[in-house]
A = this chain, B = another copy of it.
Amino acid sequence: MINRLISKIRKTNAPIVVGLDPMLKYVPEYIRKAAFAECGETLEGAAEAVWQYNKGIVDAIYDLVPAVKPQIAMYEQFGIPGLAAFQKTVDYCREKGLVVIGDVKRGDIGSTSEAYAVGHLGRVQVGSRLLSGFGEDFVTVNPYLGSDGVKPFLKVCAEEKKGIFVLVKTSNPSSGELQDRLVREPGEEAAGGNADRPLYEMVGGYVAQWGEQCMPEEGSYSYVGAVVGATYPEQGKILRKIMPKAFILVPGYGAQGGKGADLVHFFNEDGLGAIINSSRGIIAAYQQEQFAGFGEQGYADASRAAVLAMKEDIAAALAQRG
């Protein structure tokens, strides 16, 4: 799947992933009204609104980008009907040929992590049959529980040719509370400042190590990627070197403040190795001044225009690095 992602990035010339994180306040009123008229102001109504909204965006952008990243929390908030809309969105995006990165940030231990892995990336044994649950292509994984929590995902990825992105340095303001702490291994000499490094670098080291056994071919990118926020370009530069074979999924572009020029160091010299996410900046483009001219009815066209603008911004930044 990592090779498929790379080939789609090359084909579209867009190292971009569109975050499908639908909050109801982004959904145009006419779509909400129609959904509530059909299903009432219920969880089913909210889920229907979200699904119709997503479908419009996907139809407008699927030929421009390699991948989408639905954020499951935005669906899970609407309970079972919301999760059914998540499932429908995943299925529809895959039908349209998009690579689907489930932003689920799951992570547990042993058989529990395995259950998440089979549910989202693999197939679960039911009697004599193997059945697919959600069926994304990649998921994001939280590393706080250590290798026990990550390895079951790697096993399923190897079987199913899928991939993961491990949270390393997240884009939010307080990500440093844990992730920036200077760490040393227990038993290491108290050798002063030089022996210490931030926790995110250590996690980056694990990502590189896990990835060594997870390459479709020798020397290729591994299917163990990392999440590093666009809001931390300096850390991105360091992590790029620590994990040369890991794809970096970069949230935080646009609405969270990251700009094209901040992103160049997330890429390798081959122009690959990173994929930049924008969510609100694209799916709610029609609510921004720049794209307000499209109006509510044109929200999907506004999203398309926002993708094109983002593509240009990133291409220009990469060309300037040249």
- Residue ranges of A at the interface with B (Cβ–Cβ < 8 Å): 21, 23-24, 32, 36, 41-43, 45-46, 71, 73-74, 76-80, 82-84, 87, 105-113, 115-116, 118-120, 124-129, 131-134, 142-149, 167, 170-186, 188, 190, 192-193, 196, 198-199, 202-203, 206
Known contacts being A105-B108, A145-B174, A184-B181, is A134 close to B79, with CB within 8 Å?
Answer: yes
Contact A144 B112 (CB under 8 A): no
Smallest Cβ distance from A79 to chain B, in angstroms?
3
Smallest CB-CB separation from A183: which chain B residue? B181
Contact A80 B80 (CB under 8 A): yes
Smallest CB-CB separation from A194: which chain B residue? B190
- Residues of B with C-beta under 8 A to A124: 43, 46, 77-78
Query: How far does the alpha carbon of A23 sit from the alpha carbon of B177 in the complex, in Å?
Result: 36
Smallest Cβ distance from A224 to chain B, in angstroms?
15
Q: Nearest 4 CB-CB pairs, A to B?
A: A79-B133, A146-B177, A146-B174, A41-B127
Contact B146 A175 (CB under 8 A): yes
- Residues of B with C-beta under 8 A to A45: 126-127
* CB<8 Å pairs between A and B, sample of 25: A41-B129, A42-B126, A73-B115, A74-B112, A76-B120, A80-B83, A105-B106, A105-B107, A143-B144, A144-B167, A145-B174, A145-B178, A148-B172, A149-B174, A178-B202, A178-B203, A181-B181, A181-B199, A181-B202, A182-B184, A182-B185, A183-B199, A190-B193, A190-B196, A199-B199
Known contacts being A73-B119, A119-B77, A184-B182, is A126 close to B177, with CB within 8 Å?
Answer: no
Known contacts being A23-B111, A105-B107, A119-B76, is A176 close to B186, with CB within 8 Å?
Answer: yes
- Residues of B with C-beta under 8 A to A149: 172, 174
- Residues of B with C-beta under 8 A to A43: 124, 126, 131, 133
- Residues of B with C-beta under 8 A to A183: 181-183, 199
Query: How far does the alpha carbon of A149 sit from the alpha carbon of B167 in the complex, in Å?
Result: 13
Further pairs besides A80-B80, A147-B174: 13, Cβ < 8 Å: A41-B129, A42-B131, A73-B116, A78-B131, A79-B119, A80-B83, A80-B84, A145-B178, A148-B173, A177-B206, A178-B199, A178-B203, A186-B198
Query: How far does the alpha carbon of A172 sit from the alpha carbon of B134 in the complex, in Å?
Result: 27
Smallest CB-CB separation from A135: which chain B residue? B79
Smallest Cβ distance from A64 to chain B, in angstroms?
25
Smallest Cβ distance from A283 to chain B, in angstroms?
13
Contact B196 A184 (CB under 8 A): yes
